[in-house]
Amino acid sequence: MKYTYPVTRTTNPKPHPQDETNLGFGQYFTDHMFLMDYDEGQGWHDGRIVPYAPLSIDPASCVLHYAQMMFEGMKAYRRPDGRLQLFRPDMNAKRMARTADRMAMPVLPQDILISAVEELIDVDKDWMPKAPDTSMYIRPFIFGNEVSFSAMAAKHYTFCIIIAPTGAYYASNTGKLGTSRIYVQDEYIRAAQGGTGFAKVGGNYGGAMRATEVAKQFNCKDVLWLDARDHKYVEEIGTSNAFFRIGDEVITAPLETGTILPGVTRDSVINLLKRWGVKVSERRLSIDELLAAAKDGSLKEIFASGTAAVISAIGCLNVKGEDYPVADGEAGEIAQKLYNELYGMQTGKVEDYMGWTYPLDIVVD
Ligand code: COI
């Protein structure tokens, strides 16, 4: 079912970014945002599109103290014919439902999410960027918004969507993928079994920032996380899922531990690789096996996948100051092919033979 929402248009539109080749990630936001409330007993109500503006929030609001919140990351893409489209938005809605369950928050129905996203993009469609490697990043988020110091699930929630014309999350991917250096983090952990690693919550990211700072000291862009119990098995790379190609096998951490974010791009990568006949395993991979493969030359590729990052290749691992180059340090052929195919499908330049794209009723110049 498709919903429509009342729109209050801004009387004070902002200037659009001048240089679309330098949008960064989440630096510019459009003129409007979507808001909706939830109250116990009443459910979700009063969805509306309003001028983008700071939220007024009580300093005692529970989210500021106990972080009962969740967010999602999605993108709208421009097809060559000017029609805009989303990519597997049902997966975002399903993940929101799983996150809501873990965080004792109300589930937001998929139809509300997709209708709200479509309406907001329509209102701000003149902000849709055109330059290569750009898209409209969509950030839905929900937070407990109740004045209370009791560390209990809130009874009132605010749902908000903001959208941002963005460029590549990492260095520009135009044409050939670049590579990054990644620090193997064996002290801090991202997620423990029974924790919130599989859920998309701010705390997972806030708790990771010290480790990212450490990585920078080793001239690395981000970290390779190891598991919390044994500090032995590879899990994610920074804010993305991680893939390792050793010989002819592509390996990624399994979801069963509950410590891995079930990424939309992760699932798409696994499905494309299977379709292409590449052996892909969701299994635990120890850092010892990985470093041995780097040394004996059987480690062919490492890449990360995510909505923001799409596919980003890793050229070198660093372990306590020691470099372990990944093959010749350049992006591998599978990473490059995945990037071309996925970004091609998302932007309508490659035929969507997987049925993943979700065309909107919005066409831009
Ligand atoms: C995304 O890939 O959309 C994410 O949410 C990760 C974010 C921290 C950039």
**What are 193-251's pLDDT values in tens digits?**
999 999 999 999 999 999 999 999 999 999 999 999 999 999 999 999 999 999 999 99
Band (pLDDT 50/70/90 cuts) for residue 174 is low
* Residue 70 CB–ligand 1 contact under 6 Å: no
Stretch among 1-15, 125-139, 164-178, 228-242 having the lowest mean pLDDT: 164-178
Rounded mean pLDDT of the chain?
A: 96
* Residue 74 CB–ligand 1 contact under 6 Å: no
Band (pLDDT 50/70/90 cuts) for residue 172 is low
SS3 303: strand
Assessment of whether the complete model's pTM goes beyond 0.85: yes
DSSP structure class, residue 286: B
Q: What is the mean pLDDT of residues 294-307?
A: 97
* Residue 167 CB–ligand 1 contact under 6 Å: no
Specify the pairing of strand 249-252 against strand 74-78. unpaired
Q: Looking at the CA of residue 205, tell me the nearest atom of ligand 1.
A: 8
Nearest alpha carbon to residue 365 among 18, 78, 9, 32: 78
Ligand 1 mutation target, pool 27, 169, 221, 222, most atoms within 8 A of CB:
169
Q: How far is the CA of 308 from the centre of ligand 1 (A)?
A: 5
Nearest alpha carbon to residue 304 among 208, 173, 140, 131: 173
Task: Note the pLDDT of residue 287.
Answer: 98
Rounded distance between C-alpha atoms, residue 44 and residue 303, angstroms: 39
211 touches 217 (CB < 8 A): no
Where in the sequence of the chain do the CATH 3.20.10.10 domains occur?
A: 179-346
Q: Which amino acid is at 356?
A: W
Q: Which CATH superfamily includes the segment(s) 179-346?
A: D-amino Acid Aminotransferase, subunit A, domain 2 (3.20.10.10)
184 touches 193 (CB < 8 A): no
Task: Note the pLDDT of residue 168.
Answer: 77
Integer angstrom CA distances of residue 299 from 15, 220, 251, 337: 48, 19, 11, 18
Q: How far is the CA of 298 from the centre of ligand 1 (A)?
A: 30
* Residue 91 CB–ligand 1 contact under 6 Å: no
Handedness of CA 166, 75, 70, 37 (dihedral sign): positive
**Confidence check: pLDDT of 328 > 80:** yes
DSSP structure class, residue 125: G
* Residue 239 CB–ligand 1 contact under 6 Å: yes
CATH code, 20-167: 3.30.470.10
In this structure, the residue with its CA closest to atom 6 of ligand 1 is 239
Nearest alpha carbon to residue 174 among 21, 304, 308: 21
* Residue 161 CB–ligand 1 contact under 6 Å: no
Q: Looking at the CA of residue 307, tell me the nearest atom of ligand 1.
A: 2
